[in-house]
Amino acid sequence: MQAPPPAGDRRRRRLADQARAYGFLLGGLVCFALFSWYPAIRAVVIAFQKYTPGSDPQWVGTANFTRVFADPEFAAAWRNTLAFTLLALLIGFAIPFVLALVLNELRHAKAFFRVVVYLPVMIPPVVSALLWKWFYDPGTGLANEALRFLHLPTSNWSNGADTALVSLVVVATWANLGGTVLIYLAALQSIPGELYEAAELDGANLLQRVRHVTIPQTRFVILMLMLLQIIATMQVFTEPFVITGGGPENATVTVLYLIYKYAFLYNDFGGACALSVLLLALLGLFSAAYLRLTRSEGDV
Amino acid sequence: MSATRTLVSPAVLARPRGKAVYWAVFTGVVVLFALAFLFPVYWMVTGATKSPDEVARTPPTLVPQTWHLSGYTDAWDLMQLPTHLWNTVVQATGAWAFQLVFCTAAAYALSKLRPAFGKVVLGGILATLMVPAQALVVPKYLTVADLGLLNDPLAIWLPAVANAFNLYLLKRFFDQIPRDVLEAAEIDGAGRLRTLWSIVLPMSRPVLGVVSIFALVAVWQDFLWPLMVFSDTDKQPISVALVQLSQNIQLTVLIAAMVIASIPMVAMFLVFQRHIIAGISAGGSKG
């Protein structure tokens, strides 16, 4: 063993170590500060200001919030966003789970199914949206052609005030369910086979086995994906922007779309930030629940 | 045949009736997948080769009567696809490179270099996971505007570094590398950077692959953020250009452009499908 170096030396070395560590951290820290931490603070500040790029911001108290609340589009946007989230849960939640259940039983062409179900996820969302906009065309679109082929009445799809929102949910589900199916499949494969055997010996039929073995065993993944899906669908923008432009009659304006309109159409950044703060507050609740869930499960 | 027991017992599947049901379900799933996921893609690829009259015909033709490649060539020329594809490539690869360099360095520092207040910094980074990115686009846009980065690829590259998910993925992987290995390298006289480059990174190939794919796909698929920061048409990536041009262009040409825009990511997926599917399956089940 060598004699320990004198105290001053050690301190200098420790300082040099720290400098080096922060040298490695610097680039990342600057980016997080500029593009994550500062914007989060700034959203709250600007929500209480009249803000026009290029001129000095003025404090206006809660005027942005009252103006935004009074906007008839505000209620429509929240109603649509919540309806979109709920419909996406109804349509987009059971389907991937059932698909994964069935796929997990198939012994052939496993790789083929996984590739095909994930293919739409790899198509750029803008392309999916434009593709379905074409399918939904009331005259020559594939959707109405299919209905005519089956001798069913045609629909206005994304062009009708009643059907527009559901039509968009179908697009979002089609484009995104591949990832969900793959995650469910991974979860299903981790269920020990003995549990099914034991349930079968106890006389459980197929549905009872799903209810008493499969669902309890995948409960954590189901809950996690549900929260992630809620967080993602509450920020929906591309589909309404590309397919319907928020119409018809504001039937598909979402909160994020309204934020975009306030900032880039009305040049009202105060209003946009007031809306952002409201959306953040709500989504923050779901995010916190999600993180809590994954953390506590990760510790086990 | 896999030996793991699933919902349906192998004994049932071995019986004649079980076999019949199995193959009926199998065929049903193949047909369903073909109709739901492959047919729309087929419709897009062939729709672009139809003539403008044929694409608007009812009932539609299942196979194009005459194959026109002019849709594709027109899209390439009229919609300036080379420019927009190149912009997308520049934005995506730049974001990937920035993320690899800065996220890897930061993750390495947080994992192995014991910076003072490292826990606080990590907490601050993880806290951004709670703040959904899209909800902050407006103040982020104002910050980018203040920095004079509008219409500059840096507006994509720098915010891409602030990716808590990828950084945490890297840090967790680095955490598993035993400290002894790094200390051995240091005793041999390797500096921190040298240790990172020649010991840590070669050991981290799998996680670097996953992070690379996530980084590339995220930029290629993004729409709202590039729509905000690139008002200059010549700087727009393909996703934004497609939507901007979709109003005033012939349908067959637009469809051809959509096909061309999809090719790079779909091709990458088909090449790396095993890794990508394994990455999603692993990432999802472990949070």
Report ipTM (2 d.p.): 0.91
Q: Which domain holds residue B69?
A: 10-74
| Number of Cβ within a 10 Å radius of residue B70 | 15
Q: Is B226 helix (H, G, I), strand (E, B) or coil?
A: helix
Instruction: For residues B108 and B137, state if they share a domain.
Output: yes
Q: What is the pTM of this model?
A: 0.91
Q: Which CATH number is A63-299's, of 1.10.530.10, 1.10.3720.10, 3.60.10.10, 1.10.10.410?
A: 1.10.3720.10
Instruction: For residues B17 and B58, state if they share a domain.
Output: yes
Instruction: For residues B136 and B37, state if they share a domain.
Output: no
- Do the Cβ atoms of B25 and A17 come within 8 Å? no
How confident is the prediction along chain B (287 residues), in pLDDT tens digits per residue? 345 788 888 888 888 888 999 999 999 999 999 999 999 999 999 999 998 888 888 788 888 888 888 889 999 988 899 999 999 999 999 999 999 999 999 999 999 888 888 899 999 998 888 777 888 999 999 999 999 999 999 999 999 999 998 999 999 999 998 888 888 888 888 888 888 888 888 988 888 988 998 899 999 999 999 999 999 999 999 999 999 999 888 999 999 999 999 999 999 999 988 888 888 877 654 43
Does residue A34 sit at the B interface (CB-CB below 8 Å)? yes
The answer for B 202-261 residues in CB contact with A (under 8 A) is 217, 220-221, 223-224, 228, 238-240, 242-243, 246, 251, 254-255, 258, 261
Does residue B36 sit at the A interface (CB-CB below 8 Å)? yes
At position B20, the amino acid (one-letter code) is A
Instruction: For residues B237 and B124, state if they share a domain.
Output: yes
Number of domains forming the structure of chain B = 2
pLDDT 10s digits, B230-279: 999 999 999 999 999 998 889 999 999 999 999 999 999 999 888 888 88
Backbone angles phi, psi at A157, to 5 degrees: 50, -125
Instruction: For residues B120 and B28, state if they share a domain.
Output: no
Residue A215: list chain B partners with CB under 8 A.
none
Please report whether residue B102 resides in a domain.
yes
Instruction: For residues B29 and B120, state if they share a domain.
Output: no
Instruction: For residues B62 and B90, state if they share a domain.
Output: no
Please report whether residue B170 resides in a domain.
yes
Q: Which residues pair with A50 in a beta bridge?
A: A58
Instruction: For residues B63 and B85, state if they share a domain.
Output: no
The answer for A 191-230 residues in CB contact with B (under 8 A) is 191, 193-194, 196-197, 200, 206, 209-210, 213-214, 221, 224-225
The answer for B 98-127 residues in CB contact with A (under 8 A) is 101-103, 105-106, 108-110, 113-116, 118, 121, 124-125
Residue extents of the structural domains in chain A: 1-36, 63-299
Residue located via tokens 């006289």: B189
Domain CATH for B213: 1.10.3720.10
Instruction: For residues B123 and B223, state if they share a domain.
Output: yes
pLDDT 10s digits, A236-294: 999 999 999 988 888 999 999 999 999 999 999 999 999 999 999 888 888 888 878 77
Instruction: For residues B124 and B198, state if they share a domain.
Output: yes
Please report whether residue B253 resides in a domain.
no
| Segments in chain A forming alpha helices (H) | 7-32, 38-46, 63-70, 72-105, 110-122, 125-135, 142-149, 164-189, 193-201, 206-209, 215-217, 219-233, 238-239, 255-264, 269-299
Please report whether residue B275 resides in a domain.
no
Nearest to A31 by CA among B188, B158, B264: B158
Instruction: For residues B162 and B97, state if they share a domain.
Output: yes
Using the 3D structure, point to which of B23, B40, B74 is the last residue of a domain. B74
Instruction: For residues B170 and B236, state if they share a domain.
Output: yes
